[in-house]
Amino acid sequence: MKNTALTEVHKSMGGRMVPFAGFNMPVEFEGIKKEHRTVREKLGVFDVSHMGEFEVSGPNAKAFLQRISSNDVNTLVDGKVQYNCMPNDKGGIVDDFLVYRFAEDKYWLVVNAANIEKDWEWCKKQAEAFDLTVGNELKNLSDQLSLLAVQGPYARKAMQKLTDENIMDMEFYTVKTLKFAGVDDVVLSTTGYTGAGGCEIYMKNADAKTIYNAVLDAGKEFGIKPIGLGARDTLRLEMKMCLYGNDIDDTTSPIEAGLGWATKFVDGNDFIMRDYHEKLKTEKPDKMLKAFVMNEKGIPRQHYPVYNEDGEEIGEVTSGTMSPMMNNGIGLAYLKRGYWKSGTKIWIGIRKKRLEAEVVKPPIFKDQKPEVK
């Protein structure tokens, strides 16, 4: 099992460590519910160094990315970030990931921890057609970099103290390379997997402890806390952000997952199996990923069946939890056509009971505090 550069720090801070995607990671420090509320109301810092980073460069970099990405990479300019899906050759998704554009001929792909090896092999296979050489134009930086996600309404205000560059005015989904906490060549972006605002900080492993301590010190006046992966999951679920392996996988189309907004059928975007996904969008899929809220007391979990009023099975839960902000059961489920409209009543099979729930328009939690500037 792999450790991050901060594993021993997490242990010394009382983090409860668990195996996750081949890494020894903190799932919680003071409790998931408390950590969740800290991020929604103040700010918290996640060690997400288990994520993967690939660098793609050279004159064929953009053409390669356009082929493996469902979104339109041609719309990116320097300093912009884009959410994407990586279609496979069977109509599903290899992974969902972020594309960072640093220059016309230099990009990063940020991929999910559990999929690093699978994504890397897929990218290497596709790169052959674009004359991208592994180790030159295509590099796996995953083992060299550490990554912190500082999330919450006070996140950027606190992090501004650690750099002379203006990060307060950075637009959503943008990136800068800057000096941060006295360390050169740090990459800072504004994306996030919580819906709470904030930023991500990429650094060399050797600088991780220095920057982590600086982040905690800068955020102290705003109530910063270390946050585990447990709260990361509940936070993303309140926003209906997909988790690979639960809500999307090798068998699901981005169209079925409600990710049509990141699947662009425009001229010049000839991504893998485009015709299949375009037909699915035109004709509408048989199932669609939808968010729901429980109307009765109960906590939905992955693989729980979903029924209609007549007791017919119409879907399956992919993710579910008790929302710490709403104090109510919430979840995502693939539902058959005809049950997608907001307000539609559905029933979740929980412990031999069928409990009423209701399809809702995302985000599930809608009272997020805006970023403080």
* 11, 16, 18, 24 alpha-carbon torsion, rounded to 10°: -20
Q: 123 and 161 share a domain? A: no
| 185 secondary structure, DSSP code | E
Question: Is 220 inside a domain boundary?
Answer: yes
- Same structural domain, 163 and 32: yes
pLDDT for the residue numbered 342: 98
Last residue within a domain, chosen from 206, 238, 270: 238
Structure tokens given for 149 = 């996600």
Question: Which CATH number fits the domain that encloses residue 353?
Answer: 2.40.30.110
**CATH number, residue 69:** 3.30.70.1400
pLDDT above 90 covers a percentage of the chain that reads 99
CATH number (domain holding residue 220)? 3.30.1360.120
Q: Is-cis flag, bond preceding 363, omega within 30?
A: yes
- Asked whether residue 75 is assigned to any structural domain, the reply reads yes
Q: How far apart are CA 56 and CA 193, in angstroms?
A: 23
User: What is the pTM for the complete model shown?
Assistant: 0.97
30 shares its domain with 133: no
pLDDT for 134 equals: 98
CA 199 remoteness from chain centre: 13
Same domain, yes or no: 161 and 309: no
Q: What is the pLDDT of residue 120?
A: 98
**Is residue 160 located within the same domain as residue 113?**
no
Instruction: Kindly compute the dihedral angle of the four CA atoms of residues 18, 23, 27, 30, in this order, to the nearest 10 degrees.
Output: 100
pLDDT at 95: 98
Whether the Cβ atoms of residue 227 and residue 44 lie closer than 8 Å to each other: yes
Residues 6+ apart with CB under 8 A from 363: 195, 238, 239, 240, 291
pLDDT of 350 = 97
Could you give the count of Cα atoms lying within 13 Å of 118 in the half-sphere of its Cβ?
18
Query: 81 vs 72, 116, 308, 344, CA distance in Å?
Result: 12, 19, 40, 35
Same domain for 310 and 183, yes or no, is no
pLDDT of residue 361: 98
Kindly state the tokens that stand for 302: 């992955």
Same domain, 232 and 157: yes
- Is residue 43 a part of any domain in this protein? yes
User: 234: which residues sit within 8 A by CB, 6+ positions away?
Assistant: 32, 36, 321, 323, 324
Residue ranges making up the domain that contains 110: 52-140
Q: Are 197 and 224 in the same domain?
A: yes
pLDDT digits (tens, 9 = 90+) for 89-136: 999 999 999 999 999 999 999 999 999 999 999 999 999 999 999 999
Single out the residue in 181, 207, 238 at which a domain terminates.
238
Task: Give yes or no: residues 158 and 35 share one domain.
Answer: yes
**What total of structural domains would you count in the chain?**
3
Q: Are residues 77 and 191 in the same domain?
A: no
pLDDT in tens, 255-300: 999 999 999 999 999 999 999 999 999 999 999 999 999 999 999 9
In a domain, 274, yes or no: no
**In whole angstroms, what is the distance from residue 13 CA to residue 16 CA?**
9
For residues 23 and 161, membership in a common domain is answered with yes
Model confidence over 357-373: pLDDT tens digits?
999 999 999 998 999 98
Average pLDDT (140-145) is: 98
Mean pLDDT value across the chain: 98
Is residue 304 located within the same domain as residue 320? yes
Q: Give 69's contacts (C-beta < 8 A, 6+ positions apart).
A: 82, 84, 85, 86, 99, 271
**3-class DSSP state for residue 304?**
coil
